[in-house]
């Protein structure tokens, strides 16, 4: 992501309604009319265009009817005057313009016509004829699914693989939720105006927006004063929360994590959580598992303590000794798993609940700020008694619902993970497609449990854990994303919790 703006502007995320309500006023406070603001927007997009293709390149500029289209017409004029080969396409080609209209978008369109730039129907644009496509069709104004001939055009454009420069938000992406509305353009670069729209960073959006450039148009700081963001991005390394270790510390100083899971035949998840907790700096790590798994788990990491637990009462001394619990990795959905889950939930120790722990929580709910829940969309759907499609259609709303319903610290995992916690609502737009493999969630649960054990508050541990887990995934998968394993993250996590910042 690129921005030259303040930390707060880089962090703050807004919904479309806020931009529509206050962007003109922010421009006024900055000393600009709406027309001048549109000219600045067009200029910002044109400057990005110049970085992508050289003068003389063939460019198709595709414009809608609103202000987003107005930005596109300004780009078309600037590109034409600079010597680019410009073809202009419009959603409503050759529409009659009122000569008395002073709307900036109409004036920008009229200026293009006066230069002899002929408008053709949008769906006549054949992407392969051009070096670059500029998408100025809908922006934040999209209110209905992209269907019919327009959807066919979007599919053909994406299939062509011609680079696309999107203005504000790629056509077909919901600016508030990040979901696809029918069909959506895949852009290589998105230049977004004044402030970040929250939907650019989560859901399906990360696969469509490409590199994001924030053009605040000189109005961003004024917009911040007018509108409060409900969500913020995590943009700074949270190492200061942990800090350096004191010279006289010992293993007891840094907490005791108890991993509870590994039902019959399922040792792997608990092993990954165990190793992550050790590498993240927990002073001591124990595993409570089904007796059949003791040997295999103990053989994986001699530094951990592994206990076979046949019945819930055998957990008591382990639960009393633990600083934090990680409940669920490989726990199972049988009677043994449920009884072990119940025993864990009966103590007041801070708990990270993942995997089968979330399954049992949905059946037998508990509400506490001492719970840290780490669901993926399918698990979130079970917790909220809906379906996965509902979750992905509005990830922000459902992350808040999980927090409010369970009174817990929540991360809704996925591209653009969402954290709803007592520290506020945060989005982490780090991570990599390399992380699309089994065991990543177990690694995250162990990492968070270790951070709690070392003294971070539950909401802090969740935020730091999700951030470092995502960065570790980026580093592990940077050169060879396919085949990246959760265990590949372990040495990187060790470096991150010691203050390392990747270049």
Widest CA span in the chain: 84
Q: In 10 A of CB 197, how many CB atoms?
A: 28
The answer to whether the beta carbons of residues 245 and 30 sit under 8 Å apart is: no
**Which has the closest alpha carbon to 252: 322, 182, 147?**
322
Instruction: State yes or no: 141 annotated in a binding site.
Output: yes
Residue 184 annotated as binding site: no
423 is in an annotated binding site: no
Residue for token pair 């449990």: 449
298 is in an annotated binding site: no
Query: 140 labelled as ligand-binding?
Result: yes
Q: Is 340 annotated as a binding residue?
A: no
Any binding-site annotation on 71? yes
CB neighbour list of residue 136: distance below 8 Å, 6 or more residues apart: 61, 62, 63, 64, 68, 69, 71, 72, 73, 75, 167
Angle between helices 356-363 and 335-345 (to 10 degrees): 80
The pairing of beta strand 417-421 with beta strand 350-353: unpaired
Nearest by Cα to 86 from 123, 48, 125: 125
Please check if 415 is assigned to a binding site. Answer: yes
Between CA 340 and CA 311 the distance in angstroms is 7
Q: Is 68 annotated as a binding residue?
A: yes
| 376 labeled binding residue | yes
Cα angle, residue 276 at apex, residues 271 and 277 outer, rounded to 5°? 100
**174 is known to lie in a ligand binding site:** no
Instruction: Tell me if 142 is assigned to a ligand binding site.
Output: yes
The answer to the question of whether 61 is labelled as a binding residue is no
Which candidate, 321, 25, 371, places its Cα nearest to that of 194?
25
Angle at 326 between CA 322 and CA 331, to 5 degrees: 120
Is 200:224 a contact under the CB 8 Å cutoff? Answer: no
- 144 assigned to a ligand binding site: yes
Which two tokens mark 424? Answer: 């506020």
CA distance 369 to 287: 24
Q: What is the DSSP string of 198-240?
A: GGGGSTTGGGTS-EEEEE-TTTHHHHHHH---SEEE--S-THH
- Would you state the structure tokens that stand for residue 380, as one six-digit string? 């979130």
**DSSP assignment, residue 2?**
B
Do β-strands 12-14 and 231-233 pair in parallel, antiparallel, or remain unpaired?
A: antiparallel
Provide CB contacts within 8 A for 206, sequence distance 6+: 178, 415, 416, 429
Task: Judge whether 171 is annotated as a binding position.
Answer: yes
∠ CA 469-454-379, nearest 5°, is 45
> Rounded distance, CA 436 to CA 495, Å?
22
Place of tokens 């994001």: 212
Helix (H) / strand (E) containing 58: strand 58-63
Residue 135 in marked binding region: yes
284 is in an annotated binding site: no
Positions at the binding site for (6S)-NADPHX: 67-71, 139-145, 168, 269, 330, 376, 442
Binding site listing: 67-71, 135, 139-145, 168, 171, 269, 330, 376, 413-417, 441-442
Q: What residues form the annotated binding site for AMP?
A: 413-417, 441
- Going by the annotation, the residues of the binding site for K(+) are 68, 135, 171
């Amino acid at each position: 992501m690129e921005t030259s703006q303040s930390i707060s502007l880089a962090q703050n995320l807004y919904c479309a309604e806020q931009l529509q309500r206050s962007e003109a006023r922010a421009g006024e406070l900055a000393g600009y009319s709406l027309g001048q603001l549109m000219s600045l927007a067009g200029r910002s997009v044109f400057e990005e265009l110049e970085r992508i293709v050289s003068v003389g390149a063939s460019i198709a500029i595709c414009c809608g009817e609103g202000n987003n289209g107005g930005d596109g017409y300004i780009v078309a004029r600037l590109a034409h005057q600079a010597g680019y080969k410009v073809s202009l396409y419009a959603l409503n080609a050759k529409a009659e313009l009122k000569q008395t209209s002073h709307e900036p978008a109409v004036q920008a369109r009229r200026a293009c016509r006066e230069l002899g730039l002929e408008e053709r129907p949008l769906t006549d644009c054949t992407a392969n004829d051009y070096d670059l496509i500029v998408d100025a069709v809908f922006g934040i104004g999209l209110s209905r699914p992209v269907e019919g001939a327009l959807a066919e055009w979007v599919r053909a454009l994406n299939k062509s693989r011609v680079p696309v420069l999107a203005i504000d938000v790629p056509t077909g992406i919901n600016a508030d939720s990040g979901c696809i509305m029918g069909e959506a353009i895949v852009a290589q670069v998105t230049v977004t105006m004044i402030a970040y729209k929250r939907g650019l960073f989560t859901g399906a959006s990360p696969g469509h927006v490409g590199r994001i450039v924030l053009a605040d148009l000189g109005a961003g700081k004024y917009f911040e004063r007018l509108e409060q963001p409900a969500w913020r991005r995590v943009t700074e390394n949270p190492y200061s929360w942990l800090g350096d270790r004191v010279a006289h510390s010992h293993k007891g100083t840094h907490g005791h994590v108890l991993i509870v899971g590994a039902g019959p035949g399922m040792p792997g998840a608990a092993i990954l959580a165990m190793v992550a907790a050790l590498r993240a700096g927990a002073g001591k790590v124990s595993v409570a598992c089904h007796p059949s798994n003791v040997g295999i788990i103990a053989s994986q990491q001699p530094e951990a303590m592994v206990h076979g637990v046949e019945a819930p009462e055998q957990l008591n001394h382990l639960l009393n000794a633990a600083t934090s619990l990680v409940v669920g990795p490989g726990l199972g959905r049988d009677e043994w798993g449920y009884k072990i889950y119940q025993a864990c939930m009966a103590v007041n120790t801070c708990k990270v609940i993942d995997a089968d722990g979330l399954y049992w929580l949905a059946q037998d709910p508990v509400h506490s700020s001492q719970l840290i829940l780490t669901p993926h969309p399918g698990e979130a759907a079970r917790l909220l008694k809906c379906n996965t499609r509902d979750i992905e259609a509005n990830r922000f709303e459902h992350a808040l619902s999980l927090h409010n319903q369970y009174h817990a610290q929540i991360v809704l995992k996925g591209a653009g993970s969402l954290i709803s916690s007592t520290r506020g609502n945060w989005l982490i737009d780090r991570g990599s497609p390399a992380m699309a493999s089994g065991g990543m969630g177990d690694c995250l649960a162990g990492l968070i449990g270790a951070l709690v054990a070392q003294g971070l508050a539950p909401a802090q541990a969740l935020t730091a854990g999700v951030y470092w887990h995502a960065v570790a995934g980026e580093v592990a998968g940077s050169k060879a994303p396919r085949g990246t394993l959760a265990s590949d993250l372990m040495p990187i996590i060790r470096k991150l919790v010691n203050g390392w910042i990747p270049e």
